[in-house]
Structure formats: C-alpha cells, structure tokens
Amino acid sequence: MCERHKLPLVTSFYGRDASAIPNEEGWRARYKLLFQSGDAFIVEGPAMRERLVALECPPEKIHIVPLIFDGAYKFRERQLVEGEELKLVFVGRFVDKKGLPILLRALGVSQDKIGPFRLSVIGDGPCREEMEHLANELGIANRVVFCGYCSRDAMKSELEASHILVAPSRTAADGDTEGGAPTILVEAMAMGLPIASTTHADIPFVCSAYVDFLAEEDDVPDLADKIVRLRESHRQWPQLAQSALRHVQTQHSLENIEKLEDVYDLVSRARL
C-alpha cells in the first residue's frame, strides 16, 4: 500500500517482533523485504538496534527513541532501618522471559545473607501453582506473597511500600526477549525505587544508575549476590535514586515525542 501510494513506511519494534518472530519459518524473508522497502525503524535502545542490524536492517535507517514516560509518579528516596524487613517486589506476567524462577532460587540460596525479607509478586499466569511449589521447596514460602494481578493503583501502592524492585529478565527458550527493557523499570526509577536486575536486552541502557547491581542472565548465584550487595549498599540508595531519576527525566521525557516527529519529518521530506 505504501509503495502504491508513495507513502513513507515507519516501523517500530518493541520486543518479540525483533527477537522470537524472526526465528519463525518464513519471517526472515519478510523482514528482508521490510528492511529494503521501509524508510525508518524505531527501537528503544542500542541493544535492540544491534539486533536489527544482525537481521540485516541498514543501520542508517534505525532510530533510537526510548519509551516515553508521563512522570505521574511521586518520587521518594528509600531508607532501610537496621533490623527492618527488606521489602522486595517483582512485577510481571509468569512467562519465561520475566525470570521469576531465577529470582525465587536466588532468594533461596541467599536468604541467610539478606536477612529478614518479604517478596511481593505482582502478576499471574498458568504456572502460578508451580511457582508457589518452588517457593515452598526452597523454604521461602512464608516470605513470598503472590498478589496476583492488581489494579494500577494497587500496584503503585505496593511499589511505594517496597525497598527494592527485582527484574530478573532473561531470553526465553523460544528466543523472546524484553526487546528494550520492561517499562516497570522506568516507573520504579521515577518513584525512587532501587533496582536489581540483569544485563538482558537494553536494561543496562535504561538502568545505568544500577549497573553494579545487574546480574548475568539465568545466573542464580550472580543475581543473589547483586540483591545482597544492593541491600548492603542501602546508605547509597538516595544517591543512586537521584541518578536514576535524572536518567528518567532526560531519556524518557515527553520531549521524546519530538524525536518521533523528527523521524517522521525526515522520511516525509525524503519522499518529496
């Protein structure tokens, strides 16, 4: 249709479309045609950009535009009082790429080092019973609360009450990835919530303030170590949170709408 009407074609990639789908039968050929005929391709960060380059998308056609965040969250620096229970939170569907089993196992092997803690799991999925069984098997069932799906307001309340968000993202067995990074990371940083996560996809780009607390994918001991280290670094939380907030304000502001407009203006002028 674009060729017939001589209209520019702009395509945005977000995750599975750049990771798992190209591995399915027939899609490499479709993507090759898309990359040849398309005028611009928008991605969230440098890791996804490299993924498109690996799929033979011309680099000059790729534009990085981080996700836009409206900023409607109240920022609060977190503090941990000596002897206080550490409140951890996980937010996500119970799917392979979210890595919940990795988090549960990491807490299982490090519970003595972490000290008293509680993990609130916000989300759900077909494998919930399996996750509950795993928590029981690891001896942490009394410290893990499976909240199920929550309303937006309930989720925000849980985030506000927590000390640390843990996002153990990984590449799924079918190749699916977060693409860029989970949006919950940006929301958490906007609220002042410290983050322990992984080096998966564009998470290091989004969570640059917490780069010292990013574990390798699928590495239970490494994630356990990063959670313990972040807990031990609680006196640095305010400084880390301020750095993360600056990143949100500069990289995920509403000004990114102008970046999108610039891409559309560029391809429109090229068609004149």
Residue 10 three-state SS: strand
Comma-separated ranges of CATH 3.40.50.2000 domains in the chain: 2-68+254-271, 86-250
Where does the chain show beta strands of DSSP type E?
10-12, 40-43, 62-64, 86-91, 117-122, 144-148, 164-167, 195-198, 214-215
To the nearest 5 percent, what fractions of the chain are helix, strand and coil? 50, 15, 35
Select from 165, 194, 170, 192 the least CA-distant residue to 181. Answer: 170
Neighbour count for residue 83 (Cβ, 10 Å):
7
pLDDT of residue 28: 93
* 86-250 CATH: 3.40.50.2000
| Model pLDDT for residues 99-127, shown as the tens digit of each residue | 999 999 999 999 999 999 999 999 999 99
Question: Which pair of tokens denotes residue 106?
Answer: 């990491």
- Residues with Cβ within 8 Å of 63's Cβ and at least 6 positions away in sequence, in order, are 40, 41, 42, 43, 259, 263
Given a cut of 90, whether residue 51 has pLDDT beyond it is: yes
| Model pLDDT for residues 237-271, shown as the tens digit of each residue | 999 999 999 999 999 988 888 999 999 999 988 76
Given a cut of 90, whether residue 3 has pLDDT beyond it is: no
Looking at every residue in the chain, the average pLDDT score rounds to: 94
pLDDT of residue 39: 95
Given a cut of 80, whether residue 174 has pLDDT beyond it is: yes
Which CATH class name applies to 2-68+254-271?
alpha beta
pLDDT of residue 7: 83
Given a cut of 80, whether residue 5 has pLDDT beyond it is: no
pLDDT of residue 268: 87
Given a cut of 70, whether residue 153 has pLDDT beyond it is: yes
Cα(175)–Cα(77) distance, integer angstroms: 36
